[in-house]
Amino acid sequence: MSAQKVWLITGTSTGLGRSLAETVIARGDMLVATVRNQGAGRELTELAPDRVKVVTMDVTDAAAIRSCVQEAYRAFGRIDVLVNNAGYGLFGAVEEITEEQIRRQLETNLTGSILMTKEVLPRMREQRSGHIIQISSVGGQLATPGLSIYHATKWGIEGFCESLAGEVAAFGIKVTIVEPGGIRTDWAGRSMDHGDILAAYEGTPIAQIRQMREELVPSGDPDKMARVIAGLTLRDDAPLRLTLGSDAYTLLQQILPKRLEQLEAEKVLTLSTDTEHAGAASDGWKQLLK
């Protein structure tokens, strides 16, 4: 990659995406920044008119994704870094949310990121370099009541990225999943979608979590996170996963060992279902996944 990189970042009107866009511009790189509403990216263009192109698009619109990527190539001739940042939260018990809310959440956070990635891959493969940075969440490795579909999108996109990383490493393309804890952005406030509260869930954990969320002040600083994310693209050894924030770190330290403990606790049952050829099969997977 040349020293000056070309970035494509989705969802730059507010929050982490906005901070990252400003960081990239301050670094002297070129930027294609997507926003949903015309005019929302004007301040970004004003920062560096010859290095910034703002594209209006919604990541749930596949045709808009295709023309956004084409516009990026027309403007700067290449894309070095794609950041799939656009996304929002949906809070409510599964019974409280509608099919339409579920589909919109999946199409934005999951399908939108997958289609964006698919669209930039051919040219990154040809140029034999590129970095796909996926904004996931600590909620891509743990799950709490009330955010089931949000977790489905973040766990889903993490599986997608991990699989993709193995497919594209041969072409010099890196993949990094960023897992922030709470960040001071619009995510938990203005941007959050909610289900209609069902009285039946009063007094259950989801009601407690709803209350806790209203009082919680997130600890993550979007500007500091943006600087760390931008720094990833300067590393040859960029990690597959990067967790950001002391809250996220503490939670994962507590939860990840429990998954291994559960694996071990059920080991007898787990190993009881093999055919006689199982040893050879798991040796093969061990080699592939090491």
Smallest separation (angstroms) from ligand NAD to the CB of 131? 17
Smallest separation (angstroms) from ligand NAD to the CB of 155? 13
* E-state strands within the chain: 6-9, 30-35, 52-56, 81-84, 90-91, 130-135, 173-180, 193-194, 241-244
Rounded to the nearest 5°, which phi and psi values hold at 241?
-125, 140
Q: Is 140 exposed, middle or buried (0-12, 13-18, 19+ CB in 10 A)?
A: buried
Which three-class secondary structure state does DSSP give residue 290? coil
Smallest separation (angstroms) from ligand NAD to the CB of 282? 34
Measured distance CA(134)–CA(148) in Å, rounded: 20
Between residues 65 and 173, which has the closer beta carbon with respect to ligand NAD?
65
The single residue of 5, 53, 154, 174 carrying the catalytic annotation is 154
Q: Confirm whether 201 is a catalytic residue.
A: no
What is the helix (H) or strand (E) element at residue 124, kind and residue range?
A: helix 112-127
Smallest separation (angstroms) from ligand NAD to the CB of 272? 39
The single residue of 13, 19, 113, 136 carrying the catalytic annotation is 136
Interface with ligand NAD (CB under 6 A): 10-11, 13-17, 36, 58-60, 85-88, 108, 135, 137, 180, 182-183, 185-188, 191, 218
Between residues 85 and 201, which has the closer beta carbon with respect to ligand NAD?
85
Measured distance CA(248)–CA(55) in Å, rounded: 32
Residue 105 tokens, joined? 């959440």
Smallest separation (angstroms) from ligand NAD to the CB of 165? 19
The single residue of 19, 148, 150, 201 carrying the catalytic annotation is 150
Question: What is the number of the residue whose Cβ is closest to ligand NAD?
Answer: 15
Between residues 130 and 182, which has the closer beta carbon with respect to ligand NAD?
182
Between residues 30 and 86, which has the closer beta carbon with respect to ligand NAD?
86
DSSP state of 195: P
Q: Confirm whether 136 is a catalytic residue.
A: yes
Q: Is 236 exposed, middle or buried (0-12, 13-18, 19+ CB in 10 A)?
A: exposed
Between residues 172 and 218, which has the closer beta carbon with respect to ligand NAD?
218
Measured distance CA(70)–CA(47) in Å, rounded: 23
Q: Confirm whether 246 is a catalytic residue.
A: no
Residues involved in catalysis: 136, 150, 154
